[in-house]
Amino acid sequence: MSKLQQERMPILEALNKFKKSRVVPFDVPGHKRGRGNSELTDFLGESCMSVDVNSMKPLDNLCHPISVIKEAEELAADAFGASQAFFMVNGTTSAVQSMVLSACKKGEKIILPRNVHRSVINALILGGAIPIYVNPEMNHELGISLGMTLASVEKAISENPEAKAVLVNNPTYYGICSNLKAITELAHQHGMLLLVDEAHGTHFYFGENMPLSGMAAGADMASVSMHKSGGSLTQSSFLLVGGVIVKPGYVRQIINLTQTTSGSYLLLSSLDVSRKNLACNGKEIFKKVSQMAQYARDEINQIGDYYAYSKELINGDTIYDFDATKLSINTLNVGLAGIEVYNILRDEYDIQVEFGDVGNILAYISVGDTHQNLERLVSALAEIRRIYKKDKAGMLQYEYINPEVLVAPQEAFYAEKEALPLEQSGGRICSEFVMCYPPGIPILAPGEKITEEILDSIEYMKDKGCFMTGPEDMDIKNLNVLREV
């Protein structure tokens, strides 16, 4: 499709036309273009409320698109090099879930790295598929999980030839990419679908000198978080279908199992506008983002003790490529956990970074950043080192804990269970998730054995001030475990 067509924004155009037509609303939403809720209108603005409208003939319907949403989806598919693009309004979580549920039915196997986002394992609970975890290797110095080696995927495939799909993070939260092209070819050779979680990889489709995108690698489906590096509103996302094996009509049915029937036009139009912006200006945008990230990385590495890592980590396998727009910073040599730096930045310097874990922080750099704000981040990090630097003795090195999946996630989640104090739960099978959020990668998932090592690391993260989520007990003092028979 030509660039000229990519300049079109069918949903936005339809909404603008609709606004001018001054239709009298006797339908939902009941705020009636904001007039019925003046406080909210004052807060969000009249132009925002006036397009918070319901599906109707001139605006199409997200559940069954035939006009403007269909056109917008076609433009998006073209922009991403996909055969089909679905507009998602329930977050990338719903894109990932629809992707997994479309690929695997109850009892079928899916091969995936354990450092997936919780939404992937949620899909296993909903659909009943069985996870075959591939150990993502660790970088012990940084304390981060990496990508899957080609050999380990090969081994998982040969041990589970009946598996239906392989799922790959492209990239991880930290910016690490696996050898997507080779893994895709491998999966296809064995008749398996290749699914990509690209929650952190929207820009791969538009920037230059970026790691390979899912669609370019020949993947069958990819979940792309347009609201992260793509600039659309929070909760809006794309699910892409590539090739001809996956049937788009079936995927739409799966999406409609759980997606709202009242798709927000604020979210839909934000996807439409952002797709146009990336298709037309993406190269320049991500060039600028890459330059800003590199500038900040160089400055931070000059402070001392911090390590802002990048492409020098590339090793041809577990770190096949690195997303240099990500500003991931290891803090361990300052004597502070990443989460501690994260908290100091917010509480004392009014700087909010994306997340902090045991050893790293991630600062999200985007087109909305300015050089002055980067200076603030760099200066604050320099100050934190000057004021807080201490001996790194006693810092926990995050280790990958190979999960022992004793029961399938769905079965474990719905099984008869009992609540045990955390310290007494060792040796039992967990029936719920435990994770730090962000990044939302589970430490424990339903069906996995609780080990002393895992309990130690949960206590350490709680102690360091990580925001822990997942269990029914919001204070994470008790864990639900399977009743022993």
Partner 1 sequence: MELWFTEKHTPTVKFSIQVDRQLYCGQSEFQRIDVFDSKEFGRFLTLDGYMMLTEKDEFIYHEMIVHVPMAVHPAPKKVLVIGGGDGGAVRELTRYQAIEQIDLVEIDELVVEVCKKYLPHTACCFGDERVSVYYQDGLKFVRRCEQKYDLIIVDSTDPFGPGEGLFTKEFYGNCFKALKEDGIMVNQHESAFYQDDAVAMQRAHKRIVDSFPISRVYQAHIPTYPSGHWLFGFASKKYHPIEDLKAAKWNALGFKTHYYNTKLHVGAFALPNYVEELLRDVE
Q: Does 386 bind partner 1 (CB under 8 A)?
A: yes
Give the nearer residue to partner 1 in terms of CB position, either 120 or 344.
344
Query: From CA 159, how far away is CA 9, in angstroms rounded?
Result: 47
Q: Does 451 bind partner 1 (CB under 8 A)?
A: no
Min separation Cβ 349 and partner 1, Å: 5
Q: Are 112 and 134 in contact (CB under 8 A)?
A: yes
- Return the sign of the alpha-carbon dihedral for residues 132, 137, 138, 144: negative
Residue span binding partner 1 (CB under 8 A) among the ranges 21-29, 356-364, 373-381, 424-432: 373-381
Torsion of CA 25, 30, 33, 39, to 10 degrees: 160
Q: Does 379 bind partner 1 (CB under 8 A)?
A: yes
Which of 138, 382, 401, 419 touches partner 1 (CB under 8 A)?
382
Min separation Cβ 375 and partner 1, Å: 4
Q: Which of residues 58-117 bind partner 1 (CB under 8 A)?
A: none
Give the nearer residue to partner 1 in terms of CB position, either 378 or 454.
378
DSSP β-bridge partners for residue 341: none
Q: Could you give the angle at which helices 180-189 and 150-159 cross, rounded to 10 degrees?
A: 20
Which of 7, 208, 298, 375 touches partner 1 (CB under 8 A)?
375
H or E element that contains 219 = none
Which of 378, 405, 443, 481 touches partner 1 (CB under 8 A)?
378
Q: Does 383 bind partner 1 (CB under 8 A)?
A: yes
Give the nearer residue to partner 1 in terms of CB position, either 256 or 379.
379
The Cα-based distances of 195 to 166, 177, 203, 217, 455 in angstroms read: 6, 14, 18, 11, 32
Q: Which of residues 387-416 bind partner 1 (CB under 8 A)?
A: 387
Q: Does 22 bind partner 1 (CB under 8 A)?
A: no
Q: Does 380 bind partner 1 (CB under 8 A)?
A: yes
Q: Look at phi and psi of residue 451 and say left if phi exceeds 0, alpha if psi is from -120 to 50, else beta.
A: beta
Q: Does 134 bind partner 1 (CB under 8 A)?
A: no
The Cα-based distances of 96 to 102, 255, 264 in angstroms read: 10, 10, 19
Residue carrying the six token digits 């990230």: 293
Single out the residue of 344, 424, 337, 434 nearest to residue 383, CA to CA. Answer: 344
Q: Does 132 bind partner 1 (CB under 8 A)?
A: no
Min separation Cβ 166 and partner 1, Å: 45
Min separation Cβ 293 and partner 1, Å: 17
Query: From CA 21, how far away is CA 17, in angstroms rounded?
Result: 6
Give the nearer residue to partner 1 in terms of CB position, either 349 or 437.
349
Bridge-based pairing state of the strands 221-224 and 237-241: antiparallel
Q: Does 305 bind partner 1 (CB under 8 A)?
A: no
Q: Which of residues 330-359 bind partner 1 (CB under 8 A)?
A: 348-350
Q: Kindly provide the residue ranges of all beta strands, DSSP E only, lying in 358-449, ordered along the sequence.
A: 360-364, 417-421, 434-436, 442-444
Which of 372, 393, 474, 475 touches partner 1 (CB under 8 A)?
372
Q: Does 475 bind partner 1 (CB under 8 A)?
A: no
Residue span binding partner 1 (CB under 8 A) among the ranges 47-55, 128-136, 377-385, 392-400: 377-385
Which of 181, 288, 376, 449 touches partner 1 (CB under 8 A)?
376
Give the nearer residue to partner 1 in terms of CB position, either 275 or 385.
385
Q: Are 144 and 399 in contact (CB under 8 A)?
A: no
Q: Does 371 bind partner 1 (CB under 8 A)?
A: yes
Q: Are 129 and 109 in contact (CB under 8 A)?
A: yes
| # of chain residues touching partner 1 (CB under 8 A) | 14
Q: Are 384 and 341 in contact (CB under 8 A)?
A: yes
What are the residues binding partner 1 (CB under 8 A)?
348-350, 371-372, 375-376, 378-380, 382-383, 386-387
